[in-house]
Chain A
């Protein structure tokens, strides 16, 4: 049984934990504000904040994409076509870099962090990659769809995703034919989006594939279009129920399965709390979720107000995703994040590029975030964020850096193990793209006053609280005090930056 956290246990650390997990962390002042509000009010604020209107990227309208595609279509010679396609790819690369930055900015600036965090969760759940979808406009549209339903209703969201143009391309629904329909979407709908492997039959896949026919994309406005003449209206037997089912009806039948709620609840718990929830806990939440007709907010309210969410088992159990790592560093420490392709490249080296999940299963997360390559890069980027990013630290390959040659080589399958262009080479002295100056160093004076500089203990408690989003653990803190004690007082900017950097290159900083 999940019990609510008693109000006596609500303190600064609990508030920090909530803001990190249900959002992307924050300043000492923000966490203090939540501490003062109490848990209920803090939670309602997170659940119900209405985001400020965001400005879409300049190219995010249907005509912009249509113009580019028209140029390809209207080419008369093969050479013209190649040129038009190259022009499209080039423009699209820039737009994808814009899009990655646009969303990162939104996560950083938003006053509704839980909405963004949930949008990120659904992006990993209905994982769709631009490697196959291509146009940034479609990826932007999908992001809008996920955002619109992120805290709404799971059934409604799933139906919306089944009509989402990027998804229609990604899992080949847009090209599925009435005769011998394509099974790609039907399979992943059940395996990855709703039920989990082993909870349906191959016949269920074949039958439901017939129901998801007639799904097309309108070339003019890039929206979903139902082509009735391509719809297979025959009787399908799906999960032992016979009827002339259409796609929405298939999703309804899936939602009736208790397993669907268990599957979704488990995934949400793993994302927000810890990896291996007990079966009884999952059942309890799943029952509630189904009784609430798959409304997402009540489920999150139950999770975030439970004592289990604030337990020792939960604290420190989650390895931060690269997006969390970067956005949280920005929101909590106030480091400057770079923009454009540099940002995309940093994401790539950290192992997670928004809009480019490695396959339809999304990011595995957990310990999979960390290997010798990504951990090394985390430590390097910590240094770069604190000292300011010089071009050579920002990265080697351009992103998305598709030359004419690599465009041809690009894999099409959504299950491609992330197929970003690479120029892996550890040799020094290789060409580094001359990026413009990137970010300034961390502004020490904004957070540290002259008294702090002369009082090591006080300074480090402050830096620790800001960096780790909790009050200091004495055992960990004393290590940093030891380092600082060797430095001349008052501590200068360089020494203070070194200390924050050192905190960021601990295993403890990689988890939340």
Chain B
């Protein structure tokens, strides 16, 4: 481990000025050294160090399993809807009218409030050509933004990180849940995963030579990173990493990233307004990390359970209610902290569901579905057309908004990123930003 006096000076400087005193008694010595040294190198480099205060943030909510769009945004004046869904159709008196043609399922009532306040955009009929009805393949298509007949290894957010965020370190993407989403997959693995109930940071090492060996074997040896900034570590040059290389890289990210997060979570406490659901927990945590200034561009959280093949009424309404209440609390929280303008929240699901209900009072896999976009700086409204219930493709809705034009809008107008570099080509943007 490097011991030059000037490095120590910078470390001391960072410890007291940037990180505060908290670090010195909670973080094990050798991790602190590694962290501070690397951070010093980053601070020295000419790259601008992003902070949570001055750049747009995207929060992606995945509704896993295939959200039944027609029972979320209900075409309640269309008789064809009730003919296709005699038992599970949402009754007219359970619909909150939006524009005289469609309305929100009343479980989504908080979304109507956001909409009225000018903080919600509804995108209708979002999908892609030749829709795939497999959960896994369709999720992959959404996550990688590929053409439906092409396999793409990297995720659309991973490519954004690679192209636009080099030098910002692993915390540029933070996923809540047990696994890094495929959307984050990049040539160079990036992103921090916070598992539910996880403890942050590595355990304490005490012996100096043990630390050194640990660092070396986990790719944290100073001999190999000295002179390299964090930016170079995130350079797009390590595709096809071996298992060992991948493990080393992750160990390094974990050491640097999770310590920052732990520090913020000690400092910023949760607000009381969140419902007691897993999704709301995730959003509460994201709010704390944003408030604490984590330099994260994209947060990712997920709500499962949308695969409603069977007796869907109660479970689907409950999921929608959880979603709307959690997002509503999150928006309120951001508003009161004065950072709502800085955040955009989007929802997506791998597909909608079949128009006609099945005999188990549920719905099978379908195609196009709505997306919800909220935030303080978005342009509210209803975008895209409601898909026809008469003209169907094999019993399924026909999309009219390609999900990649939604991504293109977000990349171009929100994240200020070059669309064709991330998506491979340009798509017509929508006007919700």
Contact = CB atoms under 8 A, between A and B. Distances in A.
Interface of A: 172, 175-184, 187, 191-192, 197-198, 202, 316-319, 345, 348-349, 351, 358-361, 364, 366-368, 370-377, 379-380, 383, 395-397, 405-406, 408-428, 476, 479-480, 482-483, 486-487, 498, 502, 505-508, 510-511
A416 B66 CA distance: 10
Contact of A372 (B208, B254, B305): B254
A410 B304 CA distance: 9
Contacts of A406: 276
Interface string B49-78: 000000000000010111000000000000
Nearest to B177: A417
Nearest to B321: A409
Contact of B196 (A408, A422, A483, A508): A422
A409 B318 contact: yes
Interface stretch (B6-14, B40-48, B256-264, B382-390): B256-264
Contacts of B282: 424
Nearest to A367: B246
B92 interface: no
A374 B178 contact: yes
Contacts of A420: 196
B45 to A, nearest CB: 23
A268 to B, nearest CB: 19
A467 to B, nearest CB: 13
Given A368-B179, A376-B258, A508-B244, A191 B210 contact: no
Nearest to B194: A373
User: Which 8 pairs between the two chains have the least Cβ-Cβ distance?
Assistant: A411-B305, A416-B304, A422-B196, A413-B307, A177-B359, A507-B247, A371-B193, A372-B254
Interface stretch (B101-109, B128-136, B229-237, B404-412): B128-136
A428 B27 CA distance: 12
Contacts of A413: 64-65, 304-309
Interface string B393-405: 0100000000000
B307 A416 contact: yes
Given A359-B64, A413-B309, A506-B218, 13 more contacts: A182-B358, A183-B309, A184-B364, A351-B195, A364-B179, A405-B276, A413-B306, A417-B302, A423-B196, A479-B216, A498-B210, A502-B210, A507-B217
Given A319-B243, A376-B201, A349 B302 contact: no
A399 to B, nearest CB: 9
B217 A180 contact: no
Interface string B243-279: 1101110110110011001100110011000001110
Contacts of A412: 305, 308, 315
A375 B177 CA distance: 14
A415 B258 CA distance: 29
B21 interface: no
B29 interface: no
Contact of A424 (B132, B197, B310): B197
A3 to B, nearest CB: 25
A476 to B, nearest CB: 8
B88 interface: no
B180 interface: yes
Interface of B: 26, 62, 64-66, 132-137, 170, 175-180, 191-203, 207-210, 213-214, 216-219, 243-244, 246-248, 250-251, 253-254, 257-258, 261-262, 265-266, 269-270, 276-278, 281-282, 285, 302-311, 315, 318-319, 322, 356, 358-360, 362, 364-365, 394
Given A377-B195, A482-B213, A507 B251 contact: yes
A175 B250 contact: no
A121 to B, nearest CB: 19
A142 B308 CA distance: 23
Given A422-B196, A483-B210, A483-B213, A182 B360 contact: yes
A411 B312 CA distance: 11
Contact of B199 (A182, A318, A376): A376
Contacts of B192: 371-373
A505 B214 contact: yes
A377 B199 contact: yes
Contact of A383 (B62, B133, B180, B203): B203
Contacts of A408: 318
28 contacts: A172-B360, A172-B362, A176-B359, A197-B136, A349-B198, A373-B193, A374-B193, A375-B254, A380-B203, A406-B276, A409-B322, A411-B304, A413-B64, A413-B304, A414-B307, A415-B306, A417-B178, A420-B196, A424-B195, A424-B196, A424-B281, A427-B265, A479-B217, A483-B213, A486-B207, A486-B209, A498-B210, A507-B217
Contacts of B258: 372-373, 376
B130 to A, nearest CB: 11
A317 B247 CA distance: 12
B281 A423 contact: yes
A319 B360 CA distance: 41
A191 B135 CA distance: 10
Nearest to A392: B199
Contacts of B394: 202
A17 to B, nearest CB: 15
Contacts of A508: 217, 244
B364 A372 contact: no
A409 B132 CA distance: 29
Residue of B209, B304, B322 ringed by the most chain A CB atoms within 10 A: B304
Given A374-B195, A486-B207, A416 B65 contact: yes
A202 B365 CA distance: 11
Nearest to A180: B359
